[in-house]
Each structure stands twice: as structure tokens, then as C-alpha cells.
Amino acid sequence: MGHLDHAAFGWLTPVLSYAMAAIGAALGLRCTVRALGSRGRSRRNWLITAASALGTGIWTMHFVAMLGFGVTGTDIPLTLLSLLVAMLVVGAGVFTVGYGKDRPRALVVGGLTTGLGVASMHYLGMAALRLHGSVAYDPLLVTVSVGIAVVAATAALWAALNIRSAGAVALASLVMGAAVSSMHYTGMLAVDVRVAPSTSALPGAPVMQFIFPLAVGLGSHLFLTSAFVALSPAAREHTAAPPPAVVEDASAERHTRTTAS
């Protein structure tokens, strides 16, 4: 049996992975709040941005944490598939809540879908790892990790529906970051690695050459999304400023009254 090192770089990878999960959660919640206050195309665009931020944050959290796992190879197609799964299932959950008429039912369906998708992303990512030996899982701990993912996803969607203030969103995002990290490390506790020493080269791409640049790129995406959300006017700012047509009509009416008098 091999020794599983979850922190080959010390506290760097656990802390950084938690930060990525919390940032993704905060952006996802803020974008969902904006979506619920919007209509039409604007709502759809905000929900897409929310799904992108949440999916990116969760995926980046997983693979930054995996850098501390000490595995040297990864299968590129499976790794990219895990990213696609994260985006799609989080998007499905967010859109279910964003457009659902029956909020409690939408919350349950969206939370279950998103939670199972996050767990699928995690175990797809694990299947993408390449090492000399075999990997087995403790069924009980796997079940617990999936349960944590479902509860965490449902809590995140509930927060998106019920939390409005920036302070509450920040607190909820910290809790969500802890929940996602707990799901990851619970899943890692379920892993049983049996090493088979070998001098042959591992298939796939080296983790540091593929995952690290990709994680940095997605982290930059989160940063740019943060700037976009911060600079975008809130819904109340849109309602406070009248549309140009209204301003023009008011000016024309004043001009007509002045001419008549």
C-alpha cells in the first residue's frame, strides 16, 4: 500500500484550493442574485456567468488540491472532460433554480443534480490520474463524499435564492468553500493506493506541465469575472436611471408646454 501525501507542498495547496473554491462560490452567488433581479437575455447571461464561475472555482479547487497529492501524470481528455462536466452540471443546477416556478422543487432538483455532478467531476479527475499501481475506494467514504457534495450544492443554491446582502454572500461563500474542500478531502480519504514500483514512463501529460498552467488560466478567468461583476451596475442602478427614451419623451413634453405658453 502506498502512502498518500495530500500536502506535498505543505499548506500551500490546501489553502490555495480553499481560496479558489470560496472565490468561485462568491462570484456564483453574486451572479445568481443579479440574475434573479433581471429579465430576459440579461437573466440568461448572468446565469451563464454564475455557472462558469462556480464550475471553474470547484474544478480549480480540485486540481490545485491534487497538486499536493504528488501524482506525476494525468490523462488530458479525461481531465478536460471533468472540467466540462463541472461547467455543465453546475449550469443545469443554476438554470433550474433561476427559471424554476416551484422554488422548493427547483432547489431539490438543482441541488441533487449539481451535487452529483460535482462528485462526478471529482472522481473523473481521479480516474484521469496516472501512477504506477492501482487505486481502490472505500465505498462508505465515497458515499459520504457524494452526500457532502449534494448538501453543499443545495446550500449554495438556497443561498443564491435567499441571500442578498454582500456581507451575507461573503459569509456563505466561505462556508461553501469549506464544504467543497471537505467533499474533496473526504473523497481522498476513501482512496487506497497500491504502488507497483516501475521504471517505465507514465502515460499522459506531466501534472505540473498541464494542470498548473490550466489552473492558473482558470484562476485568471475568476479574477476577470470578479472585475466584471464589480464594475457591472446593479439592478437597482438600472431602475434608478430612466431609459433614454423616457428622458427624450420628458424633454419633448417640456418643450411642447413651453411653446404653447
Averaged confidence pLDDT in the chain: 74
Rounded Cα–Cα distance for residues 183 and 179 (Å): 6
The CA-CA-CA angle for residues 48, 89, 127, to 5°, reads 130
pLDDT one-digit tens code per residue, 176-209: 888 888 888 888 888 877 766 666 665 555 656 6
Can you tell me the distance from the alpha carbon of 28 to that of 90, in angstroms, rounded to the nearest whole number?
10
Mean pLDDT of 20-35: 83
Select, from the ranges 13-27, 54-68, 240-254, the one with the highest average predicted confidence (pLDDT). Answer: 13-27
Checking if the pLDDT of 21 tops 80, the result is yes
Share of residues in the chain with pLDDT > 70 (%): 68
| Three-class DSSP labels, 177-204 | HHHHHHHHHHHHHCEEEEECCCCCCCCC
Is 90 exceeded by the pLDDT of residue 84? no
- Predicted TM-score (pTM) of the model is 0.72
8, 70 contact by CB (below 8 A): yes
- Residue 33: its pLDDT value, please? 79
* Position 174 pLDDT exceeds 60: yes
Measured at the CA of 149, the angle between CA 69 and CA 166, to 5 degrees, comes to 100
Cell digits for 161?
A: 435564492
